[in-house]
Amino acid sequence: MLRVVVVLLAVASCGGGTSHAPLSAKQSAPPTMMSFVPADSPYVFAQLDPMPQNVRDALLYYSDQKLAAALEIVKQIPPDFDRSQLPVVSRVGLAFLDEVKHADMRHWGRDLGLDPSGRFAFYGLSVWPVMRVAVADPVKLRGVVGRLIAAADLGPRVVEETRDGKRFWTFTAKGVTVVAAVLDTEAVAAVVPTAALGESLPILLGLRQPDHPLAETHRVADLLASHHFSKLMFGYVDLRQVTSILTGRGMGPLEAMLHDATGPISDVCKADIERLVEIAPRFVFGYHSFDTHGFHASIVAELAPSILRALQTLRTEVPDVVAGIDSAAMMKIGAAFKLDAMLPLAGSAVAWGKARPFQCEWLEPLDKTFGQLEQVIANPLPPAMQGFRGFSAVLEDFRKEPFDITGSLLLATDRSPDLLAIIQQKVPGMSGLTIVPDGRPVALPAMALGLDPKTQLHAAARADRVAVAVGRTSPDRVIELVHAKTPQHSPLLSFTFDVPRMQATGLFDEDDEDDLGSDNMTSVGLQLDVKDDGLALDVFGTFPKM
């Protein structure tokens, strides 16, 4: 799952801020395709600026190698092999490799007729998905698509048609129609209800624009500015629009099939769903930076102002918990939040839920959750956990044979003596030790903790933290941690790891290594934080050197 998140990030109501001009033909590199995206689309993901070739090479270096390896395997298939017995996906896959085998591996998309800029737009026509991709050679690409469709061998359900000079293919099954077309400057693929095909085709084929195109609004420019995103790629999911469609506020041929499937939605459920959506009405995505070394992207949940202010009360700073990737660590996990502030925050959530319980049967589990949460927060925090502010756990090195480990753990707290007392009481072999918050390292019994007796293990403490380190440098490491400066800012949660070094430990099988994203990344970081613009998941990645 992690690999999917990282790779998708890498390849793939209005926000606040200063007003900007709408997207138009007068702006730098505006994709024409954006003129065919409806302003009320519930979701949009698009690449506005071309991806530089060197960045594309860094991002897809290993993917291109795998494609080349697949082509070598295909060469071993006898020419008289009967592909008709294969599943549809396999037939189309082999036909695609037939098209690619004569292409330049660094430019195979261009050689098939796609535009090297990589511009695209993926959006909803109502809830129905549409993909538009920039094209450089429509004649060449149209031939490729035709051969892939022929390889699928789907019979008479695939129909090639022409409308106002625009050629397109359709495939209809179970009340929905797949539409594909290669136009003069872009390729289009969409899925729409068959009943709505007539009204959808003119927009899909570029014969007319929607009544209110996204390109004529300020939304994208404001979104990029308010979240400090670059123009390389952006996206959003507007839950208000999704709710409007699902609850029947907008009804037409595009929505009829969906409403038939869901059945009528009561006014009570409509009101409850709309109330819930107002907590986080929009999710946005974009890149802050993207070059040959790596990228920094964010997924942001834009929150109601009251929710955002409440979450900001959790923020605090913890030594060794900082934004970005720690290049020296094999793996690092950190957290920085005021545990004391979580109880009032949870209490406010319970009060909100109890003041106006959800009446919609679909949302009954939420009311039960509020009740369970109320029981949990009824008990105060143990004294040792009061004033707890977070932690930093670092794995610097690990080897299975012979066993060796180097790492550290820092616990940030306003009451280190109470926390130390609990640790000494609960951890085997610690009861006879004396650790006082004076910053001096104390050797710990490795054997009692289940480690090799030769393993060095030390702890130290100050009034605001407790540190433990393992490995040959553990005495120096705990001293470093207890005297480490507190950063100006710490994210709520942080997780970073070095992919090649984690693979070298031998702890992962081949499938696990794929989940690490090893084909495209050397280091990966995921960080959750409360920012001025919402609750943000920041994703960092570095590319292998080619």
Other beta carbons less than 10 A from residue 271's beta carbon: 15
Range among 73-87, 120-134, 365-379 rated most confident: 120-134
Average pLDDT score over residue span 337-361: 91
**pLDDT at res. 7:** 38
pLDDT digits (tens, 9 = 90+) for 479-531: 999 999 999 999 999 999 888 888 887 766 555 544 444 456 788 999 999 99
Average pLDDT over residues 198-208: 94
Query: Contact at 8 Å (CB) between 441 and 478?
Result: yes
Nearest-angstrom CA–CA distance, 134 and 49 = 12
Identify the pLDDT of residue 62: 74
Given a contact cutoff of 8 angstroms between Cβ atoms, the answer to whether 332 and 524 are in contact is no
Domain ranges of the chain: 26-226, 318-338+387-521, 343-383
The predicted-structure confidence for 432-467, as pLDDT tens digits, reads as follows: 777 888 899 998 887 777 777 788 899 999 999 999
pLDDT of residue 513: 47
User: Which pLDDT score is estimated for 507?
Assistant: 67
Alpha carbon 93 to chain centroid, angstroms: 27
Per the omega criterion (within 30 degrees of 0), is the bond before 441 cis?
no
pLDDT digits (tens, 9 = 90+) for 26-50: 333 344 788 999 999 999 999 988 8
User: What's residue 249's pLDDT?
Assistant: 60
Computed over every residue of the chain, the mean pLDDT equals: 86
State the pLDDT at residue 508.
Answer: 61
Distance of CA 448 to the CA centre of its chain: 41
Backbone conformation region of residue 191, classed left if phi is above 0, alpha if psi is from -120 to 50, else beta: beta
Does residue 236 register a pLDDT over 90?
Answer: yes
- pLDDT of 336 over the 90 cut: yes
pLDDT over threshold 80, residue 256: yes
Instruction: Identify the weakest region by mean pLDDT among 140-154, 238-252, 340-354.
Output: 238-252
**pLDDT band (50, 70, 90) for residue 91:** very high
For residue 171, the cross-strand partners are 158, 178
Region 55-63: mean pLDDT is: 77
Q: What are φ and ψ of residue 92, in 5° steps?
A: -65, -40
- Check residue 449 and give its pLDDT: 74
Report how far residue 298's alpha carbon sits from residue 443's, in angstroms, rounded to the nearest whole number: 42
Confidence of residue 23 (pLDDT cuts 50, 70, 90): very low
